[in-house]
Structures are given as C-alpha cells and as structure tokens.
Amino acid sequence: GEVKIIKEEAMVAEEIVHDPSTPQTAKKSHKRAHTEKLHACDSCDYKATRLGHLKTHMLTHTGEKPYACNRCDYRTTAPGDLKRHMVTHTGVKPYACHSCDYRTSQLGNLKNHIRTHTGEKPYACKMCDYRAALPGHLKRHTRT
C-alpha cells in the first residue's frame, strides 16, 4: 500500500509518497532476482544478490560490529544502519503518520507504527496460529 511521508529538512517541507509496489520498483526487484548472480553464505542458508550484502551478513556470524556511534553505545554491522541511527540524535523526525500525530526519525519505525492502524500482522508462528505485527513480538512468543 501507499505510505505518505512528510519529510522536513531545515525550513523546507515536502511530501514524499513511498509506494514499494510501483511498477518501476517491482520490475527492478524482479529483474535482479532472475538475472543477478546469488552469493551464498557458507555458514547458513542466506543468499544475496550483491557481494557487499553477503560481506555485511557474514559479520552476523563473527559477532563483529565495526560501525560505532560516537554519541552512544550503538554498534552495527552495516554503515547504512549507523547512518539511520545517527538521525535519532538530531531530534529531527521527518516521517509522519497520516492517521495520527506519530512522527519518527526512521522510515522502518513508521512502517511498523502504521500496522497499529491497519491491524496487519505479517509475522506468523510456525507452531500455532499466533501472528505478530513486529518480529520482536514473534520472537518473544516463541520463547514462551
């Protein structure tokens, strides 16, 4: 579905429509899935279309988190994750929910929040009928 995002930078505000189901995005993803060589992890079933993604994934097996925030204890395996995290320290919240006053610094948080309005629960337990809106909720469920 379509998610409207209000992006504010300095004194400029613009409305961005983020729709992952656009024909251009879908076509690009579909083409990549069929034409690009898959790089496989030797330690698990993970496969990546890009070698850089596989290299980042390999860090999950070593536990190494080479990218560190200089303002708090946050560490990560991917430079993009660190960049996204750094926005939390600015106080800028460019992503706004179109159904309520919720605002956040990260698009992923907005997508998760929107599920509170839609009731979507995409994460399913393999052992029972339980479904969750967030992967952490499913993980907590499977531990009990």
3-state secondary structure 45-95: CCEECCHHHHHHHHHHHHCCCCEECCCCCCEECCHHHHHHHHHHHCCCCCE
Query: What pLDDT, on the 0 to 100 scale, is given for residue 8?
Result: 38
Query: What pLDDT, on the 0 to 100 scale, is given for residue 59?
Result: 93
Query: What pLDDT, on the 0 to 100 scale, is given for residue 119?
Result: 96
CATH (one of 3.20.20.70, 3.40.50.12780, 3.30.160.60, 3.90.550.10) for 3-119: 3.30.160.60
Query: What pLDDT, on the 0 to 100 scale, is given for residue 17?
Result: 45
Query: What pLDDT, on the 0 to 100 scale, is given for residue 76?
Result: 94
pLDDT tens, N- to C-terminus, the chain (144 residues): 444 444 433 333 334 444 555 666 667 666 666 666 689 999 998 999 889 999 999 999 999 999 999 999 999 999 999 998 999 999 999 999 999 999 999 999 999 999 999 999 999 999 999 999 999 999 999 987
The reported pTM is 0.56
What are the boundaries of each domain within the chain?
A: 3-119
Token pair recorded at residue 70: 């200089």
Say whether 16 sits in a helix, a strand or coil.
strand
CB 59 within 8 A of CB 66: yes
In Å, how far are 37, 53, 56, 91 from 32, measured between CA atoms?
Answer: 9, 14, 19, 36
Token pair recorded at residue 103: 């605002």
If one counts every other C-beta atom within 10 angstroms of the C-beta of residue 28, the result is: 11
